[in-house]
A and B are shown apart, each in its own frame.
Chain A
Amino acid sequence: MADNSADKPTKDVKLPRSSKGARSRFFDDPAIDQIMTFLLELMAETNALRERADTIERLLDEKGTINRDEIEAYRPDAECEAERSAWSQAFIQRVMRFHEPD
């Protein structure tokens, strides 16, 4: 039986964003664990911004002029999906430039 069934709202469910259980820490200073989360979230935002810019550029190429609804409604075809996935992978490779072991 689910332990939280008592007071169930009928709409606007807000799902929990963090997991039950202690969070793993990998660095001696927990601030570094936190900074890594900030960094990766920032990269996710950058990726999303890049997709927006890419959408605008593609639509401009196609039509010359566009509006906001068209940007939101744009659905990439398979080729564009593949290009964007490749961009995301290359983006991670560029940012995650690990130092060579000494």
Chain B
Amino acid sequence: MVSTSDALFAHKNSGIPDIEELPHSNLEERGRQRFCSALRRFAIQEMPEMVRKDFDQRVAPAHKAKGELIGDAVAIEEVMKGEASYRFYSTLRYNAQEMCFQSVQEPIERALPEMIDVAKAAVQRNPAGGSLRLNPEMPIPPYVSQLDVHLTPGCFHNEWVEDDVAQGAVVSLGARVFSASMNHRSWGGVAKVVSRWLKHERPDFAPVRILDIGTSSAKNLMPYAEAFPDSEAHGVDVAAPLLRYGHAVAEHEGIAIHLSQQNAEALDFPEGHFDLIVSSFFFHEITVDATRNVLRECRRLLRPGGVMVHQELPATCLVDAWEDFFWNWDTEHNNEPNYTSFRAQDPAVLLEEAGFGPDENFAQLLPDIGTYPERAEAFGWDEPGRPRHGKGAWYVFGSSLPS
């Protein structure tokens, strides 16, 4: 039998097949996936409102009547953790998270050899002009390897076969199941939101080189390459299977991006190499010490006149006690042990420590494209009726350097 890679090499001028289309789910699997999407949506959109109502109408008044103060997230958790509403919310959310990933594993197992062939062909042919640079000697930081982050069995970095892409597929396709019935999260949503805002704020900004740190499979890098077509787009991550998978997707899409396996705490690019440095959903997964190292690297790599924008979870000092309590659930239950301590940092302090100037530093809420198709401008923190992060807005922090 002719292998997929032989067949691919026989057609030198044809494109790279879509790796995302290779896993085929059968009727049962599609039925389960749809259920997982709906369950997750129910658990993170509807249940929290029910838990809040239970807190406001029953639990809080009972404690207040006894003269007890419930002033912050820790106190809310203390009084809620024994309540049925909170326990059921938590168990639904936890199981939904596990089930989303499990629902894609079997189709991925069946398609794996073919997916690997496609990823290898993408590396050898690079029809879009991108590149993939792996470093099998690079140690995986312990904050990535000690727990399976996000309850993704196998985490980001584990490899089960030569040239493996399995975890790239599990992370990408699992996330698709997750978000299938969520209206405010579209593919590459963050990158589209941030690039629209950048173009609005700085119409003349034309980055020569862009860097996305903790890029995973470059889902939130590709839209920058499209928004700034004259730039050279780079992405770094520690996880080889995610990078291989992302490279195959980009080469299929015809988007040239340059991916490398590196620890963002110490990158091999020269000083002042980038005009735009971005990240999304990254810092809360690493330790606060690592965050300080990465921000110092960003300072070293940013060129005068350059801009840095990190999408993250809003810091504790920027939200009320209930929202703080709501976000911190993941710390213990989604295998993200650094979540609470990252959020406890004041972004302004982190940025100053890394050498960015107080006049340039910012923390903003940007309008989501789906929810606000017409508005590019950031929300004011005390703007009446402004949405919160995750519900029509995206929180970002960052800085820029004077030219």
Interface of A toward B, CB cutoff 8 Å:
1-5, 8-21, 24, 26-27, 33, 36-37, 40-41, 43-45, 47-52, 55, 71-72, 74, 84-85, 88-89, 91-93, 96, 98-99, 101-102
Q: Bound state CA distance, A5 and B145, in angstroms?
A: 14
Cβ–Cβ contact A1 & B38, under 8 A? no
Query: A13: which B residues are within 8 A, CB to CB?
Result: 109, 112, 160-161, 164, 166
Q: How far is the CB of B135 from chain A (nearest CB, A)?
A: 9
Contacts of B299 in A (CB 8 A): none
B369: Cβ under 8 A from any A Cβ? no
Pick 29 A–B contacts, CB within 8 A, sort by A.
Answer: A1-B138, A2-B159, A2-B240, A3-B140, A9-B160, A15-B153, A15-B154, A19-B152, A21-B147, A26-B91, A36-B88, A37-B95, A40-B96, A43-B39, A44-B35, A44-B39, A47-B31, A48-B28, A48-B30, A48-B31, A48-B32, A50-B31, A51-B31, A51-B34, A55-B27, A72-B27, A96-B92, A101-B53, A101-B57
Q: Name the CB-closest residue of B to A4.
A: B158
Q: In the complex the two chains form, what is the Cα distance from A49 to B35 in whole Å? A: 11
Cβ A101 vs Cβ B91 within 8 A: no
Chain B residue numbers with a CB within 8 Å of A19 are 98, 147-148, 151-153, 335
**Chain A residue nearest to B137 in the complex (CB):** A1
Sorted from nearest, which 3 A-B pairs have the closest CB atoms?
A: A48-B31, A19-B148, A47-B35
> Contact mask B147-189 → A, CB, 8 Å, 1/0?
1100111110111111010100010000000001100000000
| Complex Cα spacing A21 to B154, Å | 11
Taking CB atoms, residues of chain B closer than 8 Å to A101 are 53-54, 57-58, 85
* A17 pairs with B27, CB closer than 8 A: no
List residues of chain A with CB within 8 A of the CB of B42. Answer: 89, 92-93, 96
B57: which A residues are within 8 A, CB to CB?
A: 101
Task: Tell whether B139 is near chain A: CB-to-CB under 8 Å.
Answer: yes
CB–CB A45/B32 < 8 A = yes
Question: Does B41 lie at the interface of the complex (its beta carbon under 8 Å from any beta carbon of A)?
Answer: yes
**A10 and B162: CB pair below 8 A?**
yes
Give the residues in chain A near B31, CB-CB below 8 Å. Answer: 44, 47-52
A47-B34 contact given A4-B158, A101-B54, CB 8 Å threshold: yes
Let me know if B332 is at the binding interface, CB within 8 A: yes
A-B contact count, CB below 8 Å? 158
Closest to A15 in B: B105
Q: Which of A18, A21, A27: most chain B CB closer than 10 A? A: A21
* Residues of the A chain whose Cβ atoms lie less than 8 Å from the Cβ of B180: 85
**Least distance between A55 CB and chain B CB atoms (Å):** 7
Shortest CB-to-CB span from B9 to chain A, Å, is: 20
A34 to B: closest C-beta gap in Å: 10
B binding-site residues for A, Cβ under 8 Å: 26-32, 34-39, 41-42, 50, 53-54, 57-58, 84-85, 87-88, 90-92, 94-96, 98-99, 102-103, 105, 108-109, 112-113, 136-140, 145-148, 151-155, 157-162, 164, 166, 170, 180-181, 240, 332-333, 335
Supposing A27-B87, A89-B38, A92-B42 touch, asked if A8 and B159 sit within 8 A by C-beta, the answer is yes
A89, B154: Cβ atoms under 8 Å?
A: no
Q: Is the CB of A40 within 8 A of B159?
A: no
A17-B268 Cα distance, complex, nearest whole Å? 36
Q: Complex: how many Å from CA A84 to CA B155?
A: 31
Contact of A40 among B30, B95, B148 (CB under 8 A): B95
Cross-chain contact A43 with B35 (CB below 8 angstroms) = yes
Contact call B27/A16, Cβ cutoff below 8 A: no
Chain A contacts for B155, CB-based, 8 A: 20
Chain A residues near B137 (CB-CB < 8 A)? 1
- B159/A85 in contact, CB under 8 A: no
How far, in angstroms, from A27 to B147 measured CA to CA in the complex?
22
User: Are A48 and B27 in touch, CB under 8 angstroms?
Assistant: yes
Chain B residues with Cβ below 8 Å from A99 are 84
B265 to chain A, nearest CB (A): 16
Q: Shortest distance in angstroms between A5's beta carbon and chain B's nearest beta carbon? A: 6
A contact residues around B147 at 8 Å (CB): 19-21
In the complex formed, the residue of A with least CB distance to B135 is A1
B332 surroundings in chain A (CB, below 8 A): 24
Which residues of B sit under 8 angstroms from A84, Cβ to Cβ?
34
List B contacts of A52 (CB < 8 A). Answer: 27-28, 31
Given A16-B153, A85-B38, A92-B39: A24 and B28 interface contact (C-beta under 8 Å):
no
How many angstroms between the C-alpha atoms of A51 and B109 in the bound complex? 23
Q: Are B50 and A85 in contact (CB under 8 A)?
A: no
CB distance from B337 to the nearest CB of A (A): 9
